Structure 1
Amino acid sequence: MAEADLDVVIRQIAKAQNKTLMAAVKKRRDQIMARAAKAKDKEARDQFRLIARSTMELGSAAAKRLHNSAQNTADSYLRAMRNAAEEAAAAAKRKPVKKAAKTKET
């Protein structure tokens, strides 16, 4: 039943993408915080910190949306495969098996 494993693959890919996205967001946040540390005045430093916080919040929200979308896709795929298997089983029960006609040999 290799089809059922595809939902697991979808979840694994999403997990890897999520980790990559969060790593990029954290790297970007750290770059902005480094700029804040180098800022000459308090106003610029506060502005950079605000930008870094916003970057982290927006990146986390994007990662959450990506995760939810992948979960929905995997669940939908699994549900569709389950329904298809049930329909195939029901169709097999409804359709009578034709018996081979017996021929008389003389």
Structure 2
Amino acid sequence: MAEADLDAVIRQLAKQQNKGLMAAAKRRRDRYVSLATKAKDGETKERYRQIAKHTMLQGAAAARRLRISADNAADSYARSMRQAAENPSAKKPPKNKEA
């Protein structure tokens, strides 16, 4: 990966984090679904189901924000590298010694 562009590395890391985030959200959802099946009354079951549903919605929203943020960072890096390659930096003229 030493030769890989940094924008590709940023996207790859974000993809891995996205998978981890969604896996954690699914584990949490499954926990609330199992609590719903064990609940004694209907009100408690429905409350756990709603919590499970909202957990997945919040997890998906967080994953989407993570992906968008990583895409923006990768695009910004790639754009700045293209601009740096197109416009070589201006060298400062040497100072004249007046003495």
Structure-1-length-normalised TM-score: 0.80
Deviation (angstroms), 1:68:
0.2
- Structure with the higher helix share, 1 or 2: 1
**Unmatched segments (≥5 aa) in structure 2:** 91-99
**Residues 65-95 of structure 1, C-alpha deviations (whole Å, 9 max, x = no match):** 000000000000000000000011x86xxxx
Match of 1:97 in 2: none
**Unmatched segments (≥5 aa) in structure 1:** 92-106
Match of 1:18 in 2: 18
Structure 2 distance, partners of 1:42, 1:81, is: 58
Deviation (angstroms), 1:4:
6.9
Tell me if 1:65 matches 2:65. Answer: yes
Match of 2:97 in 1: none
What is the 5 A alignment of 1:24-43?
A: 24-43=24-43
Structure 1 distance, partners of 2:4, 2:41, is: 58
Structure 1 distance, partners of 2:77, 2:69, is: 12
Aligned residue for 2:24, secondary structure, equals helix
Q: 1:26 touches 1:56 (CA, 8 Å); kept in 2?
A: yes
Tell me if 1:76 matches 2:76. Answer: yes
Q: Which has the larger radius of gyration?
A: 1
Match of 1:51 in 2: 51
Deviation (angstroms), 1:31:
0.3
Q: Percent identity?
A: 61
Runs of 4+ in structure 1 deviating by more than 6 angstroms, as ranges, are none
Q: 1:4 touches 1:81 (CA, 8 Å); kept in 2?
A: no
Superposition CA RMSD, Å: 1.9
Match of 2:86 in 1: 86
